[in-house]
Structure 1
Amino acid sequence: MANGARSARALLVGVSAFAVGVCCSSAGFAQQGEVTQATQSAKQSSAKRKKRQQVAQVVPAQALNANAQVQGSTQSLDTITVAATKTEERAVDALAPVSVVTLEQIQGIQPKRLGDVLYAVPGVSLQDRGDDPATSVNIRGLQDFGRVAVVVDGARQNYQRTAHSANGQFFLDPELVGGVDVVRGPTANIYGSGAIGGVVSFRTKDIDDVVRPGERWGTEWGVMGGTNNMRGMVSGFGGVRVNPNVDLFAGGSWTAQSNYKDGMGVTVENSANKTGSAIAKATVRPADGHEIKLGGIFQDFDYDVGQPRRALGLPFSQPGTAGNGTSIYATNVKNYQTSLGWKYQRPEDKLFDWDAKIYWNRTESDQTKIAHTSTAPAFGTACALRGLPGNAISGCIGDSRSYVIDTLGFDLHNTSRFEHGDWRHAVTYGGDLFQDDVKTTDFSGNSNATTPGGRRTVSGAFAQWKVGYANWFDLVSAVRYDNYHLSSGAISTDGDRFSPKVTLALLPTHVVTPYVSYAEGYRAPSITETLVDGSHVASGPGQGDTSRCADGSRGFFCFLPNPNLRPEVGKNKEFGINVKKNDLFTAGDSVRAKFNVFRNDVSDYIDGVQFAGPPVPNLYFQYQNIAHARIEGFEAETFYDANRWFVGVSATFQRGENTQTGIGLVTVQPRKITTTAGVRLLENQLVIAMQWTSVEANTKIPVTYLASTSYDLLNAYITYKPHRDVTVNFSVDNILNEYYRPYAVPRAADFTSSQNDVLWASAAPGRVFKLGARFHFGGA
């Protein structure tokens, strides 16, 4: 009842704020004119339609370039995106649940870590640990093993290792990010294989973000400091237009933070980390309409992962071995990425409009064990023979292990357009391929078994036809073919499938555009899901190590491989409404909104299953196909801008369950409502905004998990621009200093105690004050 009342209050307040904003607009400056209505003459309709298409592709300059300095100064849903259909369109016009996070929004919130950038996007949640700077994205309750396709400048991010964390992570310094596109659900199946949950596409900074129109060169320097306990960031980016056909861009950042405290004032151990990043790009335009871009990214993350024993008397501490944490590893992660892209686009060329890219992405994690759960070595192990704390599962103190994944891939597509009468057509077709090569090295532990090495090749091709008739309807139909092959040692498996998509929208150029969509997605099993093997460590001899595994090791339970796993197939039904209107009450005001109702039926859903089996009392863990899982819900994203002030609400209501057992899916976040409101003062030089997020915990979950907490998060953001080249940001995160854990925590094998390291490390920071500044220098 308390959770339901909390969500009801949050929704009521959010909707009321949005309604008051829409109904009580104050005067503002004129923005882009509203698309005109159709005339009754077919010839006039065609001419006006061409004009509308040109207007629709005009993006407010500050949304994408170096003028983007003041938070909340534009409608983010007006930003051009290609994430849903691989053709340019405004997010508010996309016939799909698409959200955009702009550079100005990112700079306004001064993110502590990458997840902060996505926090307010409807349908999106995160499963991040405080002692690990990696990010794991959940869309509509689906995450891990590529269910959410994460791409950075078009390159897939497929890093994964089996640990007490999400099984699908990536590393990206938020200071490198220039914008994000998010597509929810498999409606973006043409974007790449496996994305039955959705797509998150990051654009890194480029020359347009630091060199303003009219400048030949420009630089931007940033600095930020914060409390709880200490955090700091410095960055510098610069670009030069050598001539009209050659651009050069480079930059980087350095970030450091110490251990933070959660909302109860308890230090989250090993939440300190240091990050260094660098980026460089060269762009050449060898001929009219052609653009070739070579880019490279390097990132370095230093941190310790794991939780030591928590002292008695602190929250969630337990006596005896139940109070132990986990082994601790000094960790260095290096990420390398390089890509070469070739685009061609000329307005008069209707036959060719292509985008081709080849990329290589490597993430390598090197770890050295620096602490064990006990000071005594496990009896009868190699560690005991060496007189070192440790065991055969996690290794000995001082020993190293490494995880390396190389992803090599390409993506290419072309769009051909033609018209006849009031009919307009756009045919997009292309293909993509990526290969993951996983190598795991562990000299004294069994990471080789729990994160097995191997090679997976995934490829696909698609064709999409978008047809529109006058101002009456748009129809998008597509089909994608996917193929995969997975191999490791003597085991190999493969499969393929055709996945269709169809979307119908009525009155696409009007204020209100309703549409219906059906889309299927296909996800191949990962190497780990198929081949994971070995035992889960016990804290010591006789401490629950009752399961003997096939390789002779003992532990709480045994991992079992499953080479017979079938791919997952998502079948998503969606009804959406897009709303866009300028000059609604006064000249210059604007409202943008997207509403979606969806149901995603996933057949052969893959989930981890724990069960007892012979020889008794053995326990086993194996990834298995659940016959059917269903996730359904409602999403809303609204924003009203009256220039002098603005208000927006994003809301998510969803539920997911195993339809055979009726038990809920642990990764589904049932309700999240975020309300943002602000004012602009001093001729838009000063922007003050408040953001309130109310989240309800998912309690309909298996007994093997401890539910997350329900919570209310209140943040404040102030942006002041005393000079066109200087921007000062001040923000306060978690003003109420609330303790919260945003996701469920696995329980130990006995189902009675929590997996303590996750319980402690999943707690988010308490109150944080941040002060930052950015400086621009440039010239002709």
Structure 2
Amino acid sequence: MSVATLASGAASAQDVSPVGAAARQAPSASGETALDEITVTSTKTEEKAIEALAGASVVSADTIRAIQPDRVSDILRQVPGVTTQEAHNDPGQAINIRGLQDFGRVNVLVDGARQNFQSTGHGANGTFYLDPELIGGIDITRGPVSTIYGSGAIGGVVSFRTRNIEDILKPDELAGVEQKLGGGSNGYGFVNSTSVGARLPNNAVSAFGQFVYRNSTASRDGGGILVPDTGSELKAGNFKLNINPADGHFLTFSALVQNFDFINNGSSLTGARFRSVVDAQTYTWGYRFAPTDNPLIDLNMKGYYTRTDDARTFVRDSANRTYGLLGARPGNQVNVDLDTVGFDIFNTSRFDTGAVSHALTYGGDGVFDDVRTRDAAGGYTSAFTPSGERRLLGAFVQNEMRYGDWLRAVGALRYDAYEIKGGAFGSSGDRISPRGTIGVSPFPWIEFFGTYAEGYRAPTLSETLISGVHPFPAFTILPNTNLRPETAHNLEGGVNLRFDNVLRDGDALRAKLVGFSNDVDNFIDSTSVPSSTLVPVAPGFPAALCRIVPRAPCAPLPSVQYNNIARAELSGVELEAAYDWGDGFASLAYTHTDGINAATRATLVTVPPDRLAGTLGFRFLDRRLTVGTRTVWYDARTNTPPNGTIPNTKEFALVDLFASYEHNDWIRADLTLSNIFDKRYIKYLDLDRSPGFQARGSLTVKFATK
């Protein structure tokens, strides 16, 4: 087991989604680490992550289990180049890669299905709902080298695999049940996970089901101060069916249903109070045809449907009565629904031309979003998250070439086309984006690589059609139907290091160092515009009356609008390393990112501060007992805009202790002591404080038959 690993488990023949099932592995007697496992997000073909010619990282199932997270952010904080934005009174998460986030710049997948939900407010403009107890592995590729995975991913791809039958059954087991009970202090609450799986002896059919219940309560920060409304209730079901009707043919079906119930008074903790019930559903179906006797055919077809329905009920107004003066009454409803239908079809043909071997991948994908907003409580939500439709279509071809053991090259082209419609407005566009990569390995233990890749992101409905007056303090937000798509130009270079038997027989050292420079032309950002509008300067005064009521409490204030800036420039360095010597392990991850508006030289708000994370663990009792510590240090960020919603943050460090004991194949106990020094802090991009000291423990019992 290691933390912040560079890979996930090998893809299973039964999983036709791009990210396959992670193998359940105990620590290897040879000292081999999870850094040698398989990743697929940068090329759609399987390769060891340490050999990926890109910034690729994956968190394994064992790492997730040891952390015992209650939010996705707990898992990702030790992955270089990746951070999150969250409101602790809302279970939703947003992912930031290399300073880019919001509106699909990071393509988030759950079992291969895109998660495109977005509701504009003070927080992130693009969130997804996924409880960590459902996650079986995470595969990450940073930068637009991963645009083969879908339109818009100029920041990167984060692909979540939910748990499946391989997570509870060994290869020789036919049926089993796994029961986990967990609990903790300071808001962690109670969690139950029940998993059941069964398969036929020849593996022709397998079925898996998981039920998760979580009940968390309000937490206190490191100063002992209660952070209101940080509790929630979750009920979730995860179901999968795999069918292998004949050699080379594989069918998969999955259904993930989550229901989150929580109440809060906005991201500022002082706004109007709403109760939210979020219904998040993901359904996938797939087919893979991979005959063993024909290397030209490895066909993957996936279709999916996702739905996120955020149903909010108005409970009471804020102190300035903003909603009440607009006619909102307790019980009024607000709904933000986003339905996504998508497909991904591709084939990989493997062949040789002389001394050069090829893996030629070609295919297409499509995404169809339908946004419906209904607002009977003030009208702000429907104004800031407009209804409409969006269509993204793409086609791609990629050739991975290898000459001997020392030279590799990847050449790829992707074609993107988009169309958005809302009311009487419509826009469209298209573009071809190239990628070229060279990898040179002068010695077996080192490989240098360099990449130039472009990415293309179309403007969204909200960026284009958002229109209304912000609640007090009031200002007008204007639509912009002339937005142009963003185009990313990414230069990236790195080195992969692989050493075995360094200090003792059987140990393993792996490291990946990556530097990048990503220039985004026509970057879309929220800016002030010269036009001014009469807006209220008194709480609750209706903006519509400013132009018709004499001596109204109004003043001309600048308006805000999404606009294209000439260029955003982002650059940085990422380091990830792990060493495993069998009786212990250590890992290190470092992130440095710079990002500016090239016209104003101002730092981009979404660029996080430097971060350094490390893990040290030891194994005892014939490697059945693992104990260790995780540490993460965040630099300060003190140059945020003075009138923005994101606060400056101070430098801080967090220290966790963890222990895991596997009594045998049937019983496992885990203990995590998080933030042991009870540090009081706000993580950059968050709007409220994270929990102070928190103890989390769980007991897992399994029964299986062969």
The answer, yes or no, to whether TM exceeds 0.5 is yes
Instruction: Return the TM-score normalized by structure 1.
Output: 0.83
Structure 2 match to 1:652 = 591
Q: CA deviation at 1:702?
A: 2.6
Choose which of 724, 732, 741 in structure 1 pairs with 2:665.
724
Structure 1 match to 2:544 = none
Judging changes above 3 Å, is the alpha-carbon distance between structure 1 residues 615 and 686 closer, same or farther for their aligned structure 2 residues? closer
Structure 1 match to 2:144 = 186
Find the residue that maps to 2:125 and give its secondary structure.
coil
Whichever residue aligns with residue 717 of structure 1, its letter is F
Q: CA deviation at 1:744?
A: 4.2
Greater share of residues in helix: 1
Choose which of 474, 479, 491 in structure 2 pairs with 1:561.
479
Q: Deviations over 1:687-744 (max 9, x none)?
A: 1111111111232333333312321011111011122211100011111111111124
Choose which of 342, 365, 374 in structure 2 pairs with 1:409.
342
Q: Distance in 2 between matches of 1:677 and 1:194?
A: 37
Choose which of 271, 276, 290 in structure 2 pairs with 1:331.
276
Q: Which stretch shifts more, 700-709 or 518-527?
A: 700-709
Structure 2 match to 1:364 = 309
Which structure: larger Rg? 1
Q: CA deviation at 1:265?
A: 1.1
Whichever residue aligns with residue 41 of structure 2, its letter is A
Structure 2 match to 1:778 = 704
Q: Which stretch shifts more, 607-616 or 298-307?
A: 607-616
Judging changes above 3 Å, is the alpha-carbon distance between structure 1 residues 234 and 287 closer, same or farther for their aligned structure 2 residues? same
Is 1:477 aligned to 2:389, yes or no? no
Q: Tell me if structure 1 keeps the 8 A contact 2:256–2:282.
A: yes
The unaligned stretches of length 5 or more in structure 1 are: 1-17, 19-61, 311-324, 379-388, 539-543, 545-555, 746-757
Whichever residue aligns with residue 511 of structure 2, its letter is A
Choose which of 505, 530, 537 in structure 2 pairs with 1:587.
505
Find the residue that maps to 1:285 and give its secondary structure.
strand
Q: Tell me if structure 1 keeps the 8 A contact 2:350–2:358.
A: yes
Whichever residue aligns with residue 767 of structure 1, its letter is F
Q: Distance in 2 between matches of 1:156 and 1:72?
A: 38
Is 1:86 aligned to 2:44, yes or no? yes
Find the residue that maps to 1:448 and give its secondary structure.
helix
Q: Tell me if structure 1 keeps the 8 A contact 2:21–2:161.
A: no
Choose which of 591, 602, 624 in structure 2 pairs with 1:685.
624
Judging changes above 3 Å, is the alpha-carbon distance between structure 1 residues 437 and 736 closer, same or farther for their aligned structure 2 residues? same
Judging changes above 3 Å, is the alpha-carbon distance between structure 1 residues 156 and 82 closer, same or farther for their aligned structure 2 residues? same
Whichever residue aligns with residue 601 of structure 2, its letter is G
Judging changes above 3 Å, is the alpha-carbon distance between structure 1 residues 612 and 233 closer, same or farther for their aligned structure 2 residues? same
Structure 2 match to 1:127 = 85
Find the residue that maps to 1:396 and give its secondary structure.
coil
Q: CA deviation at 1:309?
A: 9.5
Q: Distance in 1 between matches of 2:219 and 2:408?
A: 51
Choose which of 357, 361, 370 in structure 2 pairs with 1:424.
357
Whichever residue aligns with residue 222 of structure 1, its letter is K
Judging changes above 3 Å, is the alpha-carbon distance between structure 1 residues 261 and 458 closer, same or farther for their aligned structure 2 residues? same
Q: CA deviation at 1:74?
A: 5.8
Choose which of 447, 455, 459 in structure 2 pairs with 1:525.
459
Aligned positions, number: 663
Whichever residue aligns with residue 605 of structure 1, its letter is F
**Aligned-residue identity in percent:** 38
Q: Distance in 1 between matches of 2:229 and 2:387?
A: 28
Q: Distance in 2 between matches of 1:63 and 1:157?
A: 20
Q: Distance in 1 between matches of 2:42 and 2:375?
A: 41
Q: Tell me if structure 2 keeps the 8 A contact 1:78–1:92.
A: yes
Q: Distance in 2 between matches of 1:509 and 1:170?
A: 43
Choose which of 70, 88, 102 in structure 2 pairs with 1:144.
102
Structure 1 match to 2:17 = none
Over 4 Å off, 4+ runs: 66-74, 307-310
Choose which of 691, 695, 698 in structure 2 pairs with 1:769.
695
Structure 2 match to 1:315 = none
Mapping of residues 282-321 of structure 1, within 5 Å? 282-306=241-265
Q: CA deviation at 1:229?
A: 3.6
Q: Distance in 1 between matches of 2:264 and 2:289?
A: 45
Q: Tell me if structure 2 keeps the 8 A contact 1:63–1:104.
A: no
Q: Tell me if structure 2 keeps the 8 A contact 1:233–1:256.
A: yes
The unaligned stretches of length 5 or more in structure 2 are: 5-19, 535-555
Greater share of residues in strand: 2
Structure 2 match to 1:249 = 208
Structure 2 match to 1:671 = 610
Judging changes above 3 Å, is the alpha-carbon distance between structure 1 residues 112 and 230 closer, same or farther for their aligned structure 2 residues? closer
Structure 2 match to 1:453 = 387
Structure 2 match to 1:31 = none
Mapping of residues 495-644 of structure 1, within 5 Å? 495-507=429-441, 510-538=444-472, 544=473, 556-611=474-529, 613-615=531-533, 617-644=556-583
Q: Distance in 2 between matches of 1:641 and 1:327?
A: 51
Q: CA deviation at 1:452?
A: 0.3
Q: Tell me if structure 1 keeps the 8 A contact 2:86–2:685.
A: no
Find the residue that maps to 1:618 and give its secondary structure.
strand
Q: Tell me if structure 2 keeps the 8 A contact 1:79–1:100.
A: no
